Structure 1
Amino acid sequence: MGNIALLIIAIAFAVLVLFLVIVLHKVSKVVEEANRTVKLVSSDVDVLLHQADGIMAKANTLLDDVNGKVATIDPLFTAVADLSESISDINTSSRKLVARINRPSSRRKAGSASAVVLAKTAKKFFVKKDKVKESKETV
């Protein structure tokens, strides 16, 4: 009976060893596949990082170019803002002038002021015309 028990234990041990060999063989295949996958992913990540570096360099160059162009256009926007402020001031002044002209007591004053401005402008025009005429005659 002792021999039969030893024989059963030996057979059970042999089956256990055979099962472990099969399991270890399958585990080694899984590990090999994982190693291949890691190598493939690693090479793909290297390519992606290289391409990302190129894209970042191009984006930085493009951003520098845009910043330079914005800096050259910036004075234009400043000038437009100044111009719009001046136009607003002119509109305010013209509204005040119209309001003064529309007042009954100031109509005479505004009319005489307008006549003075018109006379001065006409004088400048005729003086320039005479000077041009004289310069043509001397030539």
Structure 2
Amino acid sequence: MTLGQIAGLIAALAFVGLVIFLGMMLVQLAKLLKNLQATVEETTKTVKTLTIDMDQIAHQGDELTAKVNTLMTDVNGKVAKLDPFFNTLENVGTTLENATDKSDAKKHAHKFSPVAAGRLAKIAWKIYRKK
């Protein structure tokens, strides 16, 4: 063998080694890509499931918000109906306070007792309920 043939043989062996190394790398790359594809498919399924679940949660949230709005409208209406009653009670309280002022306390003591105040509140309630 000549020196040129030995150099050619070394180059050929190096090329064969490189081809074998690249072949092994390509096999590993193929396995990696296969695993990556499976991961992407699983991620796609998970995202679809999450999207469906989030749509359901959003729909339920909308329904709940509508029910809360209806409830608040109802409560506000009922509170508005109670305003005249509380105004009447305030007027009764003011009247009792004026009637039982310190200067007139002895004069009106027999007219306004706690029992009488309770009776006035009961009468005011009956009047309010009739309206």
TM > 0.5: yes
What's the Cα RMSD here? 1.5
Q: Is there any run of 5+ residues in structure 1 with no aligned partner, and where? A: 101-139
Structure (1 or 2) with the larger CA radius of gyration: 1
The CA deviation at 1:53 is 1.1
Q: Deviations over 1:92-114 (max 9, x none)?
A: 0xx314679xxxxxxxxxxxxxx
TM alignment of 1:77-92, pairs within 5 A: 77-92=86-101
AA in 1 matched with 2:69: N
Q: Which has the higher contact order (CA 8 A, sep 6+)?
A: 2
Task: Tell me the equivalent position of 1:96.
Answer: 103
Which residue of the partner structure matches residue 58 of structure 2?
49
The runs of at least 4 consecutive aligned structure 1 residues that moved more than 2 Å come to: 97-100
Distance (Å, rounded) in 2 between the aligned partners of 1:33 and 1:6: 40
Q: Equivalent residue for 1:35?
A: 44
Alignment of 1:1-139 (within 5 A): 1-92=10-101, 95-97=102-104
Which residue matches 1:107? none
C-alpha spacing 1:86/1:32, structure 2 compared with 1 (3 Å): same
| 5+ residue gaps, structure 2 | 1-9, 108-131
Whole-Å Cα distance in 2 between the matches of residues 12 and 68 of structure 1? 82
- Between Structure 1 and Structure 2, which shows a larger proportion of helix residues? 1
Partners in 2 of 1:75 and 1:16 — Cα distance?
Answer: 87
Structure-1-length-normalised TM-score: 0.67
Secondary structure of 1:35's counterpart equals helix
Count how many residue pairs are aligned between Structure 1 and Structure 2. 98
